[in-house]
Amino acid sequence: MFDPAELTESSYEVNKINLILNYFGILGVPACVKEEGCSNIPIKDCSADAIYLKKESDKIYNQDKCIVLSYDNSGKIIDLFFYKALGVMK
């Protein structure tokens, strides 16, 4: 999930998360957190399992049923998420 004011479904960050999910055999489906500015993709919130890309400071945390990848440096936080998913880092 992402805010359409910050990212698009073809953004580097969204594509990189989809590649990571595909590595684990999970089908990722891009979604917006709000309708305004969103193309023809689903609108979701954290009431269902999701990964939420959110532009803030670099950290990973849970919010309801979401894993929030909060980033100032998107490449750094997405790599950290991948390393944690692989069990390389805690």
Per residue in 27-53, pLDDT (tens digit) is: 999 999 999 999 899 999 999 999 999
Supply the pTM of this predicted model: 0.91
58's tokens = 């670099």
Burial of 70 (0-12, 13-18, 19+ CB in 10 A): middle
Per residue in 45-86, pLDDT (tens digit) is: 999 999 999 999 999 999 999 999 999 989 999 999 999 999
User: What CA–CA distance (Å, rounded) separates 20 from 27?
Assistant: 10
pLDDT confidence of residue 61: 97
Domain spans, the chain: 12-86
pLDDT confidence of residue 90: 76
